[in-house]
């Protein structure tokens, strides 16, 4: 427990702080101490490295104190029925995409990371491009099913797909040109979109197909 | 009158050149649709064909542009972003065409053909060519 108090102190917050408070404190400290922020000042860089070590250790331990956090899925999970629409090929693609997205979020989209390194930024950018590629491929599959089954809401549904693709292209651009947009923001936007879309529109389509198959 | 793929169009990166060739094939198919539809404008069958062509264009655009963009990034192409902007504008235009085909009574394949033609001339033959030259110089691909 002593250690725990020490960790709170390292982040400059009171013991028992809430999850958002911990995240916020961590984010602020990283912005102040990250060694990459002082490329021309070796002494501060060294100081920054030491501070970052303390901060990271404290953060990791404190995060471990929130075990109930359902952090790994965009609300619910793959085991969550809300994500299973009952068309095998589509469900499989959803699963692959969700895994891809989770990897993105867990690797790059910690609320605290500031990407200063250009190569890392490029890597993240490429990852976003790849997600867009997969999303597109997946939309084509869904739309083929819709045409095949004469889905009456095809156009409406497809419009949503196009909207999302446009949004992804916009995010790519913003991420490329603007340092304010973090992978964390992107991750939040994608996460809420897919959760809403799969649970509502895709489910509706799944029910339609399964009703037809029953007849 | 079909457009024949000519080596002149090649930018010197095999994967990209093959995809460009498929673009020209698509263009040919669209013009064929147009030539065969005689006077029956507004015909549902033609409309459906047009729609499928636009869908194919959309599919082409997404796959192909991402391929090109990867080459650009991996070779640290300075004009990457300007180039990508043109790709995105193309995709948005395709979205618009889809809407137009779905919503309007009047179908104008000529509009689609002109759009594709100007892309072939203005983008593939100029902007892509410029990238090909850069890439070859950078990576040392034999042409």
Structure tokens at A190: 């994608």
Binning pLDDT at 50, 70 and 90, where does residue B20 land? very high
A129 shares contact with chain B (CB less than 8 Å): yes
pLDDT score for A180: 73
Per CB-CB distance under 8 Å, the chain A contacts of B86 are none
| Number of Cα atoms under 13 Å in the Cβ half of residue B4 | 2
Residue A39: give its domain's CATH number: 1.10.287.110
Quick one: A53 and A95 in the same domain? Answer: no
CA distance B12 to B87: 19
Quick one: A134 and A192 in the same domain? Answer: yes
CA distance B137 to B143: 10
ipTM attached to this prediction: 0.71
CA angle B63, B77, A164 (to 5 degrees): 35
Instruction: Give the tens place of pLDDT for each residue, B120-143.
Output: 999 999 999 999 999 999 887 554
pLDDT score for A201: 93
Quick one: A54 and A108 in the same domain? Answer: no
Name residues whose C-beta falls within 8 Å of residue A21's C-beta, 6 or more positions apart in sequence: A13
CA distance A164 to B32: 33
CB-based burial label for B84 (10 Å; 0-12, 13-18, 19+) = buried
Which residue segment(s) compose the domain that A140 sits in? 81-214
Tens-level pLDDT at each residue, chain A (215 residues): 567 888 888 888 888 777 767 877 887 888 888 877 887 887 888 888 888 888 888 888 887 776 443 333 444 445 567 788 989 999 999 999 999 999 998 888 876 666 667 788 888 888 998 899 899 989 999 998 998 888 999 989 998 999 999 899 888 888 888 777 788 888 888 988 888 899 899 999 999 988 887 65
Query: How many Cβ contacts (< 8 angstroms) between chains A and B?
Result: 29
Closest partner residue to B66 (CB to CB) among A133, A155, A166 is: A133
* A206 in Cβ contact with A157 (< 8 Å): no
DSSP per-residue letters across A133-154 = HHHHHHHHHHHHHHHHTT-TTH
pLDDT score for A3: 77
Structure tokens at A114: 């500031």
* B69 in Cβ contact with A164 (< 8 Å): no
Quick one: A22 and A122 in the same domain? Answer: no
Q: Domain-by-domain residue ranges, chain B?
A: 12-139
Quick one: A49 and A88 in the same domain? Answer: no
Number of neighbouring beta carbons within 10 Å of residue B9: 18
CA distance A135 to A123: 18
* B74 in Cβ contact with B47 (< 8 Å): no
Among the listed residues B67, B62, B54, the one whose alpha carbon sits nearest the alpha carbon of residue B128? B67
Task: Assess if residue A134 is contained within a domain.
Answer: yes
CA distance A175 to A181: 6
Cβ separation of A165 and B91 shorter than 8 Å?
yes
CA distance A81 to A86: 10
pLDDT score for A70: 34
Residue A105: give its domain's CATH number: 1.20.120.50
pLDDT score for B11: 93
Instruction: Give the tens place of pLDDT for each residue, A7-19.
Output: 888 888 888 777 7
Q: How many domains does chain A have?
A: 2
Task: Report the percentage of chain B scoring pLDDT > 90.
Answer: 49
pLDDT score for A52: 86
CA distance B132 to B128: 6
* A44 in Cβ contact with A38 (< 8 Å): yes
**Architecture of the domain whose range is B12-139:** Up-down Bundle (1.20)
pLDDT score for A75: 44
pLDDT over 90 at B107, yes or no: no
CA angle A159, A164, A169 (to 5 degrees): 125
Per CB-CB distance under 8 Å, the chain A contacts of B62 are 133, 136, 165
Cβ separation of B70 and A126 shorter than 8 Å?
yes
Quick one: A155 and A210 in the same domain? Answer: yes
B59 shares contact with chain A (CB less than 8 Å): yes
pLDDT score for A100: 93
* A169 in Cβ contact with A128 (< 8 Å): no
CA distance A139 to A162: 9
Structure tokens at B128: 């892509």
Q: Which helix (H) or strand (E) holds B90?
A: helix B80-103
Cβ separation of A165 and B70 shorter than 8 Å?
no
Q: Which helix (H) or strand (E) holds B114?
A: helix B109-119
Instruction: Give the tens place of pLDDT for each residue, B25-84.
Output: 999 988 887 777 655 555 677 778 888 888 899 989 988 999 999 899 889 999 999 999
CA distance B107 to B30: 13
Name residues whose C-beta falls within 8 Å of residue A57's C-beta, 6 or more positions apart in sequence: A7, A10
Instruction: Give the tens place of pLDDT for each residue, A29-40.
Output: 888 888 778 878
B99 to chain A nearest CA, in Å?
9
Task: Assess if residue A68 is contained within a domain.
Answer: no
């Amino acid at each position: 427990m002593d250690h725990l108090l020490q960790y709170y102190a390292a982040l400059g917050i009171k013991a028992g702080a809430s999850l958002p408070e911990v995240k916020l404190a961590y984010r602020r400290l990283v912005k102040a101490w990250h060694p990459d922020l002082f490329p021309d000042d070796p002494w501060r860089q060294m100081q920054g490295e030491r501070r970052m070590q303390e901060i990271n250790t404290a953060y990791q331990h404190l995060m471990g104190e929130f075990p109930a956090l359902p952090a790994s899925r965009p609300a619910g999970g793959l085991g969550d029925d809300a994500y299973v629409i009952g068309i095998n090929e589509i469900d499989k693609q959803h699963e692959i995409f969700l895994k891809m997205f989770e990897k993105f979020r867990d690797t790059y989209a910690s609320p605290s990371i500031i990407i200063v390194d250009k190569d890392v930024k490029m890597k993240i950018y490429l990852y976003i491009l790849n997600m867009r590629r997969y999303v597109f491929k997946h939309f084509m599959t869904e739309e083929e099913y819709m045409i095949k089954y004469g889905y009456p809401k095809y156009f409406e549904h497809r419009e949503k797909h196009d909207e999302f693709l446009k949004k992804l292209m916009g995010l790519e651009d913003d991420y490329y040109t603007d340092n304010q947009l973090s992978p964390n923001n992107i991750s939040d936007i994608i996460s809420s979109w897919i959760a809403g879309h799969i649970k509502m529109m895709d489910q509706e389509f799944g029910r339609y197909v399964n009703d037809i198959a029953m007849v | 009158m079909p457009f024949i793929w000519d080596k002149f169009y090649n930018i010197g990166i095999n994967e990209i050149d093959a995809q460009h060739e498929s673009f020209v094939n698509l263009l040919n198919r669209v013009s064929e649709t147009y030539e065969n539809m005689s006077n029956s404008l507004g015909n549902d069958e033609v409309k459906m064909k047009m729609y499928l062509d636009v869908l194919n264009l959309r599919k082409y655009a997404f796959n192909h542009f991402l391929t090109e963009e990867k080459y650009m990034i991996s070779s640290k192409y300075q004009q990457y972003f300007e180039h990508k902007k043109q790709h995105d504008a193309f995709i948005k235009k395709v979205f618009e065409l889809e809407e137009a085909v779905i919503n309007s009574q009047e179908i104008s394949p000529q509009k689609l053909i002109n759009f594709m033609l100007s892309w072939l001339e203005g983008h593939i033959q100029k902007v892509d060519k410029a990238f090909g030259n850069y890439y070859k110089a950078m990576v040392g691909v034999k042409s």
